Structure 1
Amino acid sequence: MAMAKEIMGGSLIQRSSFVSSSKVFLNPSFQKKKQNQFLVNPLVVPLEKTRFVRMRKVVRGPVAAISEDLVKRLPVAVSADKAEKFKVRAVVTVRNKNKEDLKDKIVKHLDAITDKIGLNVVLQLVSTEIDPKTKAPKKSNEAILKDWSKKSNVKAERVNYTAEFMLNSSFGVPGAILVTNNHQKEFFLETITVEGFAGDPVHFFCNSWVQSRKDHPGKRIFFSNQPYLPSETPAGLRSLRDKELRDTRGDGKGVRKLSDRIYDFDVYNDLGNPDRGIEFARPTLGGEKIPYPRRCRTGRLPSDTDMHTESRVEKPLPMYVPRDEQFEESKQDTFSAGRLKAVLHNLIPSLKASISSDNHEFKGFSEIDNLYSEGVLLKLGLQDELLKKLPLPKVVSHIQESNRGIIKYETPKIISKDKFAWLRDDEFARQAIAGVNPVSIERLKVFPPVSKLDPEIYGPLESALKEEHILGYLNGMTVQQALEGNKLFVLDYHDAYLPFLDQINALDGRKAYATRTVYFLTPLGTLKPIAIELSHPPSGPSSRSRRVITPPVDATSNWTWQLAKAHVCSNDAGVHQLVNHWLRTHASLEPFILAAHRQMSAMHPIFKLLDPHMRYTLEVNGLARQSLINADGVIESCFTPGRYSMEISAAAYKSFWRFDMENLPADLVRRGMAVPDPTQPHGLKLLIEDYPYATDGLLIWSATENWVRTYVNYYYPESSLICNDNELQAWYFESVNVGHSDLSHKSWWPSLANADDLVSILTTLIWLASAQHAALNFGQYPYGGYVPNRPPLMRRLIPEENDPEYASFLADPQKYFLSALPSVLQTTKFMAVVDTLSTHSPDEEYLGERQQPSTWTGDTEVVEAFYQFSAEIQRIEKEIEKRNHDTSLRNRCGAGVLPYELLAPSSGPGVTCRGVPNSVSI
């Protein structure tokens, strides 16, 4: 890192006066102004914290490619015919692999030998200018990387190589660099810095695998950090810009190789495995029959038994994603990605082998507690093998203590402060606005609630809830007064589950209701649950398919109430995982990411803005298709809907998902949790003032929106620039009409005609990838790791007096309750997976952070604006910390109450229940 910082240079104030920029910043928003003069470093005057005013700015054209030595010797004018030569040097940073198998070592040795005889890595600079004689881009001589063979045994994580070029003084400035790999093996090219021009060094941030020419014959193209709109692309770079995009699109044919970097679309036809048996077949998601977003195309051949189902790549073989989207080695080895694969491929089979059938369910709550204090003892013989395969410092925490082969789980935060918090009604309600799924609760606008399902199939539209059920819990109000006073709220999963309940309840060991839970907002600003409706589809015209359970009045009703809350939590866990988490932050973003790589050049300013928010998402989603959401995968085996899980997700996409409602303010208004109010901060008035997810989220939303608006205004001072940006328009068109083609006809899609449109679209995407995903993901183990608090599935219904099970329920209600929860194997498997999904890596990149923060773009005013955004994120973190110590905010501060930190931007590594990474990275 020290070497990288030295190469990249210091702060903006310390930088040379020759800055790669052609932009002007006028406070409070950036405006573009084109001039053709030499650059004078602008004077920056700090005003009120981080605001500043550009006092004077003169903007240059391309800096002449003249070294300092040459400047001393040149006359005032140099004719093109007498252009003199000068030398520039490229410093190339290559990242080494940490682990090499025998084959890697052999090939590496061969590359070192062949490098000596001329099969080198070759670089060539491409000027931004056209040669007036040939009408082709000006190119330097080809230069080889020096000392590759000498440094082949260097063990450092990063190795610097150099190459030297002799250039004419008329060369101009390099805007691209061509790289040819004549070795046998790919290498990871991190950065190239070209020194020796009369201005600052020219930076190329590559972060890409360069394949051997024998596998991919063409030269790789990398552009400098200077962004250009398509219409402003220098003449020397236009053809390369187009070629690079053609290369990433591919032709839509053939099976993708792991070394490819081709981005394309396909339907979800790879979740099932009919070759394994008919019970593992799954419907295709995507298309007119079952609408769904598109995923990354792999081109694999169809299965043997169903030509419409793509053949499976089963673990541990990797699923194709473009080469540069694959996890970096450090991520694979040291944290969540590697952990997840290890858990799925090694730990879960060991758990299955170790937990016998006679240990099917927990005998008491103490056995659940023992998972944290004593752990699970693996069968003899599995221990050593498992430990070899888990490269994890804390997977499922202390994997082995005193060599006994014990898997011990970390104590989840929900029981770390108050072991019995999960039993209380106030905590059950608090988690609806400050837990891991705070985005489902709605204000109740009509009582009784009304279904939108077909009444001929699913019975009466009105619910079974009556005024008499809730009247006694309204602090003396009538139901109408409570509605008008915005005091009633609801978690309504009736329509999400009811169409699937007959199929779910026919599964072995799965029992579910479609639930509605009504909450009352107390004068203290906290919620209390006052009624739970449990529904089944009607089995006949006169069948009773619904019941209402209210808070307990005696011992029996207390256990009935606890079971009802458990079924609500099971419904909530399913919708959280399948809809709010997977669909809304993973699957719905994938089309925008694919289209960005296919339609926007790496030098496009909007691609540069989005780049950190797209990192690793395709790999995570590919891994999910392989092992999490696939037939008989973790989601099907651990959540109540089982094999119908993804159909529930698809039904929500068809009936509920709207891109224009995915931004935070619109979502809060849609759910009735806020009303527009221009006098309030963020233009909204929250109807639950202490709604931690919303209050913290609005701070991040506004900061992100301001940063994006500043960025957009800088590059698009006029709406016509947006309308005429062919790459930008092609990106959005393809995202909607190909990536979300099943819903592309909907009128609610935003247009893209001006700066406000673009700011809204980009802010929504960044919000979903960062803060929204963090709020829904990193609390999974802290809240769900104690399964009684949030059971992902239920195995028994609530017995009624005429049921055969009622007597056993009365005789031992605790035993009945535990038998309704997931089994020991289901519990331990679920805990292992959500522990991993909730984990941050040591090198996580959080909101407000970027690689090479001072040089990621050549436009220095944009760098300054990003620093302002970063400072604002840090202020938000301090505000969140302050709120978590405010005892008047009872939903985040109190005796045994967990602080709400899921939107606190920074975090250390591990399961921390906080931290907002830039992207959907795990």
Structure 2
Amino acid sequence: MDGSSPSKRSRHEESGNGERSKMRGVVVLMKKKVLGVNDIAASVVDRVDEIRGRKVALQLISSTAALDHDSAHLGESGPLDWYGHTVRWLRCLGTCKGGCCFTGKKESEPIAESYRGKVGKKAYLEDWITKISPLTAGDTAYDVTFEWTREMGVPGAFTITNFHHNEFYLKTLTLEDVPGHGRVHFICNSWVYPSEYYKKDRIFFANQAYLPSQTPAPLRGYREEELENLRGNGTGKLEEWDRVYDYDIYNDLGDPDKGPEHVRPILGGSPEFPYPRRGRTGRPPASSDPKVESRIPLYNSLSIYVPRDERFSQLKMSDFVAYALKSIFQFLAPEFKALFDKTPDEFDSFEDVLKLYDGGIKVSNDSLMEKIRERIPLEMIKELLRSDGEKGFKFPLPQVIKEDKTAWRSDEEFAREMLAGINPVVIRRLQEFPPESKLDPEVYGKQSSTISEEHIINSLDGLTILEAIQNNKLFILDHHDNLMPYLRRINTTATKTYATRTILFLQKDGTLKPLAIELSLPHPDGDHHGAVSSVYTPAEDGLEGSLWQLAKAYVAISDSGYHQLICHWLSTHAAIEPFIIATHRQLSVLHPIHKLLQPHFRDTMNINALARQTLINAGGFLEMTLFPGKYALEMSATSYKDWVFPDQALPADLIKRGVAVEDSSSPNGVRLLIEDYPYAVDGLEIWTAIRMWVEDYCNLYYNTDDMVENDIELQSWWKELREKGHADKTNEPWWPKMKTRKELIDSCTIVIWVASALHAAVNFGQYPYGGYLPNRPSTSRRFIPEPGTPEYEELKSNPEKAFLKTITSQLQSVLGISLVEILSRHSSDEIFLGQRESPEWTSDAGALKAFEMFGNRLVEIEKRIMEMNNDGRWKNRFGPVKMPYTLLYPSSDIGLTGRGIPNSVSI
């Protein structure tokens, strides 16, 4: 550190008094690119800017030496400790009743403009024009030389001013040999636009975490100012270079300017339709309804506003282009609607369905294909339609039929997927018989189940119903109350479906056996007359067997819609977005909780914005492929009324559903009542690992509960999250008070669990299980046929054809499979649980050690999961389809793997 080594001396020039005055740094950045291709025009403009003297300027800011007028205060207390977690305050801050005798500011008030760290002279990136060799994936390293002396202390931040005409992606700045200190590393990972787009120069901080009260005094003003910039002023249309995080309601799903059929309810801000908040875009109102935000043209979907740093990386955008291309189908919505209504092409048998994977099927509608060719370049058609050169659709073989093409039809597989499928988060223990309804009887009449003792008594291994309940043997998949309030309206559309209840029995070998399925419709004389229900019991052959297969299909349909809208979209995508916004608005990048949570927010705002544009909007993919149609998002708002933040913890969820009980002797605090419950078994292992990591990390920074309560940024974060982010839940008594370390640890664990493992469990199995539509149909087009009708006779004579005419049509199937294939893929730049984008994400050795231990735990968990999957005792881990449960394997390769837990809701 004294500069005696030749290698270190070469990094500096010495001033006359022996102090080093020149300090070298290395900046790594990526120039502007478009979908992974260099923007040649931008490169030329940059070169011209450099020649004309419009360069990229950096200025270092000291964390230990303040501006001259504060020197006396610093001198009284001595230098600040850069690494310690007990950084000493200026003596005046401790003796002037919490204020400063110079500035008059108290600790919680904004610090005066002049109360800042010393700022070095401007330094410029070198060799911009001549540097042409990228390090990796377009990254380029540039040297920069700073004037900096020992007296100026340790740099804790720097500003960067881009005098070019184009933005670039700034990754890191590294100072290897700071006088009197050593190495300082800055992780930036941010787009820097030309200076004219900013009111203030962009600022970045070194990768050391500080609580607000422990922040070096010279950095506190910069810390507060940066948060103010990120909050914006709440007005105006936000542009791509804006870095504003703000809230809005979901008033951008409908498009009233296109006509009444495109109107949708506003979600959020009302007791009828409460909802988590989304990121504000500031687009002007629709001309026909000032309460609704106008929409951007479909062809411009990828430019919907989110803060630029929340957008997909260049690499992921390249991978994701197939998803964007599939949005082109929206151009064809009228053509698709006509085709759906007429259903010109039907699957006649399960063998026909398999042709989607074996060799492709032909679309006979030449007019449709011609319209596609008119709108899409030829080279894109092949990717969009997976064409064989003519008019064919072909998809990868889904795992559920890879080993056995018919095992999906078995009752055991039907039940197993409630524990180890794409939606294993709904099944609950049955604690009363017959099942009761919670719907208001004054509105909906009698809605209790019509499943009787006679339907199931012979399938309980000699137990009475009461004994089966007392011995925790009866379970239910209940989609009755969720669907019944909407069913009358849904069934006025092309959809024809039922509210469903399915009762199951836990057998001695650990598998579930379905006992009865109830299909219910609203009473034809009005809702207040209650439900009209039919009950079906297992059968293998003949007409009864065909009716049983149809009944199971209706259960899968109701479960598919509930999964996609509630368990997937609402509970992970929508519920997490307010946490992202609040974190950026209230927790500085210097805050340890920001550093803890930020990786679990990657790409979420971007995928949610794209979803609002093409997936969950009026006429979007979900409305086109799921049975609720235009009522889809409205249904999710109704379900949000029951959303409770603490219940998102896995142990709490399992206990609430009655599939586990509290057990203090267990590491995770619960004992499962279904021992062979793959999602819960693996999930509890992952949950416990996450909680241990969060606890280890938080305890590094919070030694007492008082430190949590007195953390002004943390308290502002939690207050804003409740009052703005989940504003329709503000006054709920179940919110943690955020006064103790346990409440902080529990809350952060929930956020990380939901964003990572829960999302992985309900997302990445969509194609492996649902890519074969007969196994997970998403809509139905007719009811159970009545005796004496042609449909009834067809069911008797050709049950496969009748089944396929009931569920999703051929073209809807192609569209739905295209969608879930894209949503089930890991991108090339995916970052999985236990990984970080940079190994230097913090300079805190304790945090790095704790994170290493977390990663090691995940490796061990993955080994145990693999061992259980290979152990024949656990029948639900493999099932009749011979498909191991891998959705909670922490790691994965890229692509369509059916495994892996990304850090965030990234797709």
What letter matches 1:96 in structure 2? K
Matching residue of 1:239: 221
- Structure 2: distance between partners of 1:386 and 1:417: 37
Q: Deviation string for 1:331-370 (max 9, x for gaps)?
A: 010x2x3221122226984995997956332122222111
What letter matches 2:503 in structure 1? V
What letter matches 1:881 in structure 2? M
**Which of 612, 621, 629 lines up with 1:642 in the alignment?**
629
Shift of 1:290: 1.1
What are the ranges of 5 or more consecutive residues in structure 1 without an aligned counterpart? Answer: 1-17, 19-65
- Structure 1: distance between partners of 2:529 and 2:818: 45
Shift of 1:823: 1.1
Matching residue of 1:208: 190
Matching residue of 1:46: none
**Which of 405, 408, 430 lines up with 1:444 in the alignment?**
430
- Structure 1: distance between partners of 2:5 and 2:120: 20
**Which of 595, 598, 605 lines up with 1:618 in the alignment?**
605
- Structure 2: distance between partners of 1:268 and 1:903: 31
Contact kept, 8 Å, 1:514 with 1:535, in 2: the verdict is: yes
Shift of 1:461: 4.1
CA pair 634-547 structure 1, distance change in 2 beyond 3 A: same
Greater alpha carbon shift after TM alignment, 814-823 vs 768-777: 814-823
CA pair 645-471 structure 1, distance change in 2 beyond 3 A: same
Matching residue of 2:469: 483
CA pair 100-569 structure 1, distance change in 2 beyond 3 A: closer
For 2:144, what is the secondary structure of its paired residue?
strand
* Counterpart check, 1:755 vs 2:733: no
Contact kept, 8 Å, 1:108 with 1:152, in 2: the verdict is: no
Greater alpha carbon shift after TM alignment, 625-634 vs 543-552: 543-552
For 1:729, what is the secondary structure of its paired residue?
helix
CA RMSD after TM alignment: 2.6
Q: Deviation string for 1:278-303 (max 9, x for gaps)?
A: 01100100012311110000011110
What are the ranges of 5 or more consecutive residues in structure 2 without an aligned counterpart? Answer: 71-115
For 1:545, what is the secondary structure of its paired residue?
strand
* Counterpart check, 1:728 vs 2:682: no
Matching residue of 1:492: 478
CA pair 761-879 structure 1, distance change in 2 beyond 3 A: same
Q: How does 1:709-724 map to 2 (within 5 A)?
A: 709-724=695-710
Q: How does 1:173-572 map to 2 (within 5 A)?
A: 173-197=154-178, 198-288=180-270, 289-317=272-300, 318-333=303-318, 335=319, 337-345=320-328, 349=332, 352=336, 359-377=344-362, 382=372, 386=376, 390=380, 399-401=386-388, 403-404=389-390, 406-507=392-493, 509-540=494-525, 545-552=532-539, 554-572=541-559
What letter matches 2:437 in structure 1? S
* Counterpart check, 1:662 vs 2:686: no
Matching residue of 2:121: 141
Shift of 1:305: 0.7
- Structure 1: distance between partners of 2:723 and 2:651: 25
Matching residue of 1:150: 130
Q: Deviation string for 1:170-229 (max 9, x for gaps)?
A: 111110010000000011101111122244421111010001012224210000001110
Shift of 1:673: 0.5
Shift of 1:116: 2.2
Identical amino acids, percent of aligned pairs: 45
Matching residue of 1:109: 44
* Counterpart check, 1:764 vs 2:750: yes
- Structure 1: distance between partners of 2:586 and 2:831: 25
Shift of 1:130: 3.7
For 2:607, what is the secondary structure of its paired residue?
helix
Q: How does 1:778-857 map to 2 (within 5 A)?
A: 778-801=764-787, 805-853=791-839, 855-857=840-842
Shift of 1:575: 0.7
CA pair 496-220 structure 1, distance change in 2 beyond 3 A: same
Contact kept, 8 Å, 2:50 with 2:128, in 1: the verdict is: yes
* Counterpart check, 1:167 vs 2:154: no
CA pair 487-707 structure 1, distance change in 2 beyond 3 A: same
- Structure 1: distance between partners of 2:851 and 2:38: 44
CA pair 191-543 structure 1, distance change in 2 beyond 3 A: closer
Q: Deviation string for 1:602-641 (max 9, x for gaps)?
A: 1111000111101000001001101110001011110000
For 1:518, what is the secondary structure of its paired residue?
strand
Matching residue of 1:707: 693
What letter matches 1:846 in structure 2? F
CA pair 744-694 structure 1, distance change in 2 beyond 3 A: same
- Structure 2: distance between partners of 1:535 and 1:866: 51
- Structure 1: distance between partners of 2:42 and 2:401: 52
Q: How many residues align?
A: 844
Matching residue of 1:596: 583
TM-score (norm 2): 0.89
For 1:134, what is the secondary structure of its paired residue?
helix
For 1:839, what is the secondary structure of its paired residue?
coil
Greater alpha carbon shift after TM alignment, 570-579 vs 747-756: 747-756
What letter matches 1:443 in structure 2? R
- Structure 2: distance between partners of 1:543 and 1:433: 31
For 2:323, what is the secondary structure of its paired residue?
helix
For 2:299, what is the secondary structure of its paired residue?
coil
Greater alpha carbon shift after TM alignment, 727-736 vs 674-683: 674-683
For 2:635, what is the secondary structure of its paired residue?
helix
Shift of 1:388: 5.1
CA pair 114-295 structure 1, distance change in 2 beyond 3 A: same
Contact kept, 8 Å, 1:491 with 1:516, in 2: the verdict is: yes
Greater alpha carbon shift after TM alignment, 427-436 vs 91-100: 91-100
- Structure 2: distance between partners of 1:894 and 1:638: 28
* Counterpart check, 1:887 vs 2:872: yes
CA pair 515-895 structure 1, distance change in 2 beyond 3 A: closer
Q: Deviation string for 1:21-63 (max 9, x for gaps)?
A: xxxxxxxxxxxxxxxxxxxxxxxxxxxxxxxxxxxxxxxxxxx
What letter matches 2:609 in structure 1? G
Greater alpha carbon shift after TM alignment, 338-347 vs 180-189: 338-347
Q: Deviation string for 1:380-437 (max 9, x for gaps)?
A: 7656975756499x877xx344x44533101111110111111100000000000000
Greater alpha carbon shift after TM alignment, 284-293 vs 687-696: 284-293
What letter matches 1:519 in structure 2? L
CA pair 71-856 structure 1, distance change in 2 beyond 3 A: same
For 1:316, what is the secondary structure of its paired residue?
helix
TM-score (norm 1): 0.88
Matching residue of 2:88: none
